[in-house]
Amino acid sequence: MHLHQLPQWTRTGLITATLMLTSSAALAQAYPNKAIRIIVPTAAGGTGDMLARQVGEILKEAFKQPVVIENKPGANGIIATEQVVKAAPDGYTLLAASSSNIAINPGLYGAKMPFDVEKDLAPITQVANTTQVLAVHPSFPARTVAELITLVKSKPNAIDYANAGNGSTPHLNMVLLMSMTGMQLNSILYKGSTPGRMAVLSNEVPILIDGLGPTLPMIQGGKLRALGVTSAKRVPTVPNIPAIAETVPGYTGEIWYGVLAPAGTPPDIINRLNKAIAAGFNTPEIKAKLVSEGGEVVGSSPAEFAGFIKRELAKWTKVIKESGAKIE
């Protein structure tokens, strides 16, 4: 049967579908022919911002087009994420997000979330993981994770820990540890990781979970004692610090970073971005730099990243529900 023999509505539908496919293919072929924007949900200077700038350099080199980094902090990353969700799905507006923005916020905000991270964003690649560390003041009696669990269980709700903010990754990593071990620690709330770290350094509070990068100089200088890292395995640069998982099987609490686009971005464009970013991060220099900071390069495929997000959402939504963590 020829096209002219089909009913009018069928012909129109086929022509529209063909045009849509053609324009999508043409868009992908011409991509990119102008500047790409990367929206970052944090202020300049942190790990997420540094990784976003690395992505920017990689894309600039791979595509020979300018890349603009826009820092949009606020509302736990919701402002920046919403801007990307509402952008045209053409590959020119990307989101450099962390686990906090993608996997933790939905559980914390629930119905207040102005978008659905799985439906409204297209995963490109998980760029990297960074680990955190469970540390104590050097005067604290517990020297291992097992000793800490025994001590805390003997004095429920009597020992304090520094909470870097309700719903923050360090807070939820501690909640996860308590739920997996039956420990009951008393949360002392601080306005971020830095004030919490200062409180433990001055022995105002004995325990915290914090980023390995910023605490490593204090651990090496003997001002803090590391009990365990939150990654599934030991960190190669500090092999003397055990993984918490060695004592608490199945425990992991890493901060991960990835790049996403608005839903509906043509698969060809997603794949081009994925290949360029993954190849750019898989260089010896970038890998070595991340490892020295307690991180690792991932460089997953779009499908792998989507599956990972699904698992992370389920994990953290459950932890948040059990902890009763709320955004004040």
Domains and CATH numbers, the chain: 33-129+255-323 (3.40.190.150), 132-246 (3.40.190.10)
| Average pLDDT over the chain, rounded to an integer | 90
Inter-CA distances, 257 with 82, 180, 205, 277, 306, Å: 17, 25, 30, 13, 13
pLDDT at 76: 83
pLDDT score at 2:
60
Q: What are the backbone angles phi and psi of residue 67, rounded to the nearest 5°?
A: -125, 125
Strand locations in the chain (E): 36-40, 67-71, 93-98, 121-130, 132-136, 160-163, 186-189, 207-211, 225-229, 255-262, 295-297
Mean pLDDT of 274-288: 94
Most confident of 11-15, 48-52, 183-187: 183-187
pLDDT of 224 reads: 98
Residue 181 DSSP one-character state? H
**Contact status, residue 230 vs residue 251, Cβ threshold 8 Å:** yes
In this prediction, residue 21 carries a pLDDT of: 58
The pLDDT confidence band at residue 26, using thresholds 50, 70 and 90, is low
Residue 231 pLDDT class (50, 70, 90 cuts): very high
pLDDT, tens digit (0-9, with 9 covering 90-100), for 172-214? 999 999 999 999 999 999 888 889 999 999 999 999 999 898 8
The 3-state DSSP class for residue 228 equals strand
